[in-house]
Amino acid sequence: MIDHEDAKKIAYEKIKKVENVKILSSEERRRDFPNSSLEIWEVSTEILLDDNILKPIKFILLFLPDFPLSFPTVLLSKDDYEKTKHIPHVDVNRLVCTFQNHSKPNPDKPSEVVLETLRRSKRIIEDGLNGVNTSDFDEEFMSYWQSKYSTKDSVSANIILLTKLPVGKNLKFIKLSKSFNEISIVIHQEEDIAIRFKSFLTKSGIYFTETQGFFLGNWDNKLLPPFDWTNRQVIDLVKTEFPLKFKEYCDFLNNKKLNPKLILFSKHLNGEIKYFGWFHKTPNLKRNGFRPNTLQPVKAMSIFEGNEHLFRLSPELINSSRLVKRSAGPQQNIGKQFIYSMTGLGSIGSNLVHFLKSDPNAEFRLIDNDILKPENIGRHLLGFSYLNWYKTSGIEDYLKNNSPLRAVSIRKSSIYDIIINETEYINESDILIVCIGEENIERWIASKLEENVIKVPIIFIWVEPYLAGGHCVYITPNENNFSSFFDEHGLFKFNIIHRDEYLLNNPILTLKEAGCQTHFTPYAADQVLSFLGVLYPYISNVIANEEKNCKSFTWVGNKSQIISNNIRISEFGSNLTEGSINLNHLW
């Protein structure tokens, strides 16, 4: 077992033989790092420059309590940072980026961990001062752009960029009256996701204003820090870097109706397009020597407010493609928007939403006329704060809060009403998922597929008491044999509980509270999640592959619990393993 204090002592004894190192005293630590209680070393060493000159340099090493499970953090001394800035892999906080966050030290060799950290730190400074790694600025451009270089400098990364397409002329930005989870500015191009986002803000009672922005284009040439630009600097830069857009840029700045002035540009970094920008503050146009309304903003920014620092922006791109990539990695057909119609938003249907929402591009059409009651929340996706909401409204709110960009619509109606009066609402989707658990209505829904009223595949999902089994039947316009899965008594042929228990109406299968219409099927919330967690990859595969043929699956629950309740297991179920999912075959 690692003794962390001994590991630091072992490393220190080894390092002091090859480097000039000392452990900072409590007084020195309080002076330079007043809020830190970490052990801190000061290492005075040398680096080699191109002309074979040795240059003295000083590093500060900070050790987390878990060392050597983690690498020491390396800072340049204040004096050395001032002499060497700005070079790649050293940020404005003097931090030397020695290892990627997925790198792992060997905890059995604490001395080697520190030596390798110092070796890398030296190499980074040497390469930076010798101009060897200048191209690495692009790797960490975002970090340098987001850094503050002086007390006059200001920058924000709490900006959202909503876009499906490369940014073009129709650039707009939303300014929230008060920040929403630290987000105060949202940039967009009036795409459908932006329209949905504005609808979310309105529905949430968040006031906002909206105005036009300006997109320069791609900044092809290298940009080197520091980026604490002023009005005069950036106007000169735009004139040099974007000569064909300079007049349009000036016309935008001179438009007195658009304030503040949002400017955006793109940059190709590591094979991706990233966006950055800044705001020009509204200049003071009332100046001595100029008649009213004659001084143009560009001139005022260049002359009178030329040294005014810009407010830089580093927007965080949010769209379905990026979210999929950041979760599942690069995939095919990211742009396809799959539309789910769902009816029955009780314990099964609501918790299935939790799995289906993993596709950030999916649209939901929710159909249910039921209201969430106190007795429902034990195993429903929604909790106490949604009591007495329509389940459709609650799930819509849940999905919108998860992603305001998602398309969600609801119908506070029965599935019967929608099929009779608004069939296209379903037929415009890719699939209908039915989690009602009522035999009569499910048979009727299946018949509407047979009659070609419903024209999309249907998935039926339901569970047995105590979740002895969870079942799924998938039918399509190409193959609809829903009725074949049920016997002459209407019982599912692949039930885990023995058919006689149902035919004899075993009272333990349905429980009842005092009062009318209070019968319910017993099963626990954790069992619902276990069932759906195993089932989801199967139905996801069926949907993704647009299977043409019918399929049915059965998940096996806790059979020992069923037997302990004196409930007989079916012959089919007795041969299956608990927790398994099985493809049902009709012979």
Domain boundaries of the chain, sorted by first residue: 4-136, 144-318, 335-583
Count how many Cα atoms sit within 13 Å of the Cα of residue 511 in the half-sphere of its side chain.
7
Q: What is the pLDDT of residue 99?
A: 84
Strand 159-162 versus strand 172-180 pairing type: unpaired
**Longest distance between any two alpha carbons in the chain, whole Å:** 100
SS3 state at 10:
helix
Strand partners, 368: none
> Using a CB cutoff of 8 Å and minimum separation of 24, what contacts does 575-580 make?
576/496, 579/530, 579/534, 579/555, 580/555, 580/556
Q: Where are the beta strands (DSSP E) in 345-499?
A: 363-367, 408-411, 431-434, 458-463, 469-475
Which residue is listed with tokens 């500015």? 185
Helix 110-129 vs helix 4-15: crossing angle, to nearest 10 = 50
Report helix angle 347-356 to 391-402, nearest 10: 20
Helices within 265-414 (DSSP H only) = 297-302, 320-328, 347-356, 391-402
Helix, strand or coil, per DSSP, at residue 575: coil
* Nearest alpha-carbon partner for 96 in 107, 88, 106, 108: 88
Overall CATH class of domain 4-136: alpha beta
Same fold flag, 4-136 and 335-583: no
Give residue 549's identity as a one-letter amino acid code.
N
Structure tokens at 338: 């799959």
Residues of the chain with pLDDT under 50: 328-329, 332-333, 513-517
**Alpha carbons 573 and 21: distance in angstroms, whole number:** 71
Which residue, chain included where needed, has tokens 């020195």? 28
* Whether pTM exceeds 0.95: no
Residue 336 CA, chain-centre distance (Å), reads 18
Picking from 576, 115, 212, 193, the residue whose alpha carbon sits closest to that of residue 407 is 193
* CA gap 29, 38 in Å, rounded: 9
CB within 8 A of 15, min separation 6: which ones?
A: 21, 41, 43, 111, 114, 115, 118
Report how far residue 218's alpha carbon sits from residue 554's, in angstroms, rounded to the nearest whole number: 54
411 touches 366 (CB < 8 A): yes
- On whether the CB atoms of residues 417 and 388 are closer than 8 A, the answer is no
CB atoms within 10 A of CB 8: 20
Alpha-carbon gap, residue 186 to 194, rounded angstroms: 9
Q: Are 236 and 244 in contact (CB under 8 A)?
A: no
Mean pLDDT value across the chain: 89
State the fold for domain 335-583.
Rossmann fold (3.40.50)
Q: What gap in Å lies between CA 336 and CA 402, rounded to an integer?
A: 20
pLDDT at position 465: 92
DSSP assigned state of 499: H
- Answer whether 183's CB lies under 8 Å from 158's CB: yes
Q: What is the DSSP letter of 465?
A: G
* pLDDT at res. 424: 97
* Integer Cα distance of 284 and 443 in angstroms: 73
Q: Dihedral sign, CA of 183, 184, 188, 191? A: positive
d(C-alpha 136, C-alpha 127), whole Å: 10
- Dihedral pair phi/psi, residue 177, rounded to 5°: -65, -30
Using CA atoms, how far apart are residues 58 and 74, in angstroms rounded to an integer?
10
The whole-angstrom separation of Cα 483 and Cα 500 is 20
pLDDT for 271 equals 81
